[in-house]
Amino acid sequence: MKSLREYLWFEIKGRRGFVNITDTVQELVRKSEIKHGLCLCNAMHITASVFINDDESGLHHDYEVWLEKLAPHAPTSQYHHNRTREDNADAHLKRQIMGREVVVAVTDGKLDLGPWEQIFYGEFDGNRRKRVLVKIIGE
Amino acid sequence: MKSLREYLWFEIKGRRGFVNITDTVQELVRKSEIKHGLCLCNAMHITASVFINDDESGLHHDYEVWLEKLAPHAPTSQYHHNRTREDNADAHLKRQIMGREVVVAVTDGKLDLGPWEQIFYGEFDGNRRKRVLVKIIGE
Amino acid sequence: MKSLREYLWFEIKGRRGFVNITDTVQELVRKSEIKHGLCLCNAMHITASVFINDDESGLHHDYEVWLEKLAPHAPTSQYHHNRTREDNADAHLKRQIMGREVVVAVTDGKLDLGPWEQIFYGEFDGNRRKRVLVKIIGE
């Protein structure tokens, strides 16, 4: 069994944003020389997500509006977590909706994705350096 | 290490629906001849889910009502994504709540599920042919 | 390839609660003697979650309030599932928000977690004995 582990680093300007990381992860699969296995991609921070959906700016706008409706940032005083001198409680909630991680099959040395599947880093509390972990195992 | 990858195909009549795929996935585990490993099942389309919950029709009704409340289909004009001549933005949102994938342990050649755990395909934008990917790795 | 599978048992007093299981899972990784691989932790019951977030009591309070807003327990008669003589339909909904499972990389014989990542068992319908499955595969 082979394995590879790498970090991807991000520093999103502003509070929230989405970054397509599909090509970067695909390059790591190639580097791993693994033909058949599983590829885990997870946010290492608890106010960020890795998720799979469409690379369409209108949809990303819709996610932004929707998440803000389900878990509003303001008033920040509504959240007990913000009594710890943070203002990011909403980011911990939004990340649970979008998820921490994805697991993608590796087949014939490539990410085995559907036609519209793209892997995204989702930031909900930006202006900080944060990491995504990529771990690939297989043969 | 062994691995197996197969597609399951669906064409759900109507916009939304749930299909129990537990027995089909179990049969693929048997076919793989893997005794101990991990089984990934994921929707390959971004308006569909694979999730684990109860095979109880009342609960499935409750999911339908609840998801429509959290991410309503209409008015379709509320979503920027629908300016792309789609009307399925809500399906992209609903799928994030229900999730893209499940990973199930394989132990002694079987899916290692709890007493009520059943694997479902969840469709949120039907009347199209779509796939689920099953990837099993182990020994 | 090596593998290890163990159950963790819980009986939460009251309807809902969160338990930090990070150290217990780390100990199972050590026991497995696996240096590089993947560790799956999943609730085996469909009204419970395993998720990763912060071990901060204010945040846990916020999750409790937020989940109750998104998927209220009462009135129990609003859910068809509760016609089966259950009163836990809301727990099946809450668990979809928080998720069934996490997959964590194992690197150099340890859980490869970010600085604030902690693994939790989340109970939404307590006062019953329930299990979490831990499955670790790798070499």
CB–CB contact A93 C63 (8 Å): yes
Strands A17-20 and A48-53: unpaired
Token pair listed for C3: 């593998």
Identify whether the C-beta of residue C93 lies closer than 8 Å to the C-beta of residue C71: yes
Residue carrying structure tokens 């597609």? B7
Indicate the residue of B5, B83, B97 with minimum beta-carbon distance to A107. Answer: B5
C123: β partners: C17, C48
Q: Which of C32, C38, C46, C90 to mutate to test the interface with B (most CBs of B within 10 A)?
A: C46
Return all residues near B86 (Cβ < 8 A) that are at least 6 apart.
none
C86: β partners: none
The full DSSP string for C46-93 is TTEEEEEE---HHHHHHHHHHHHHHS---SGGG-GGGGGT---HHHHH
Q: What is the per-residue pLDDT across B33-47, written as a single tens digit (0 to 9) for each?
A: 999 999 999 999 999
CB–CB contact C100 B102 (8 Å): yes
Residues of B in contact with A36 (CB under 8 A): 1, 3, 5, 137
Q: What is the per-residue pLDDT across B93-138, written as a single tens digit (0 to 9) for each?
A: 999 999 999 999 999 999 999 999 999 999 999 999 999 999 999 9
Instruction: Give percent helix, percent strand, percent coil of chain B, each to the nearest 5.
Output: 30, 35, 30
Q: Taking all residues of chain B, what is their mean pLDDT, rounded to a whole number? A: 98
**Closest Cα in chain B to C139:** B1
Residues of A in contact with C58 (CB under 8 A): 79-84, 89
Residues of C in contact with B138 (CB under 8 A): 1, 3, 137
Residues of B in contact with C97 (CB under 8 A): 97
Calpha distance C121→C130 (Å, rounded): 10
Radius of gyration from C-alpha coordinates of chain C: 16
Q: Please give the ipTM for the structure prediction.
A: 0.97
Check whether the bond before A75 is cis (ω within 30° of 0). yes
pLDDT of residue B84: 87
Q: Which residues of chain A have pLDDT under 50?
A: none
Q: Looking at this protein, which amino acid is placed at residue C117?
A: E
C19: β partners: C121
pLDDT of residue A40: 98
Element (H, E) at B67: helix B57-70
Mean pLDDT confidence for B56-62: 98
Q: A58-94: buried (b, 16+ CB within 10 Å) or exposed (e) per residue?
A: ebbebbbebbeebbebeeeeebbbbeeebbbbbbbbb
Q: In which band, very low, low, confident or very high, does the pLDDT at C38 lie, cut at 50, 70 and 90? A: very high
**Closest Cα in chain A to B43:** A114
pLDDT of residue B88: 98
Identify whether the C-beta of residue B129 lies closer than 8 Å to the C-beta of residue B118: no
Q: Taking all residues of chain C, what is their mean pLDDT, rounded to a whole number? A: 98
pLDDT of residue C15: 96
Does the pTM exceed 0.90?
yes
Token pair listed for C31: 């026991």
Q: In which band, very low, low, confident or very high, does the pLDDT at C105 lie, cut at 50, 70 and 90? A: very high
CB–CB contact B114 C46 (8 Å): yes
CB–CB contact A133 C58 (8 Å): no
Chain centre distance of CA B85: 25
**What residues of C are in the A interface, CB distance below 8 Å?**
1, 36-38, 51-54, 56-59, 61-63, 66, 70, 97-99, 102-105, 107, 112-117, 137-139
Indicate the residue of A40, A43, A84 with minimum beta-carbon distance to C103. Answer: A40
Angle, alpha carbons C5-A38-B35 (nearest 5°): 40
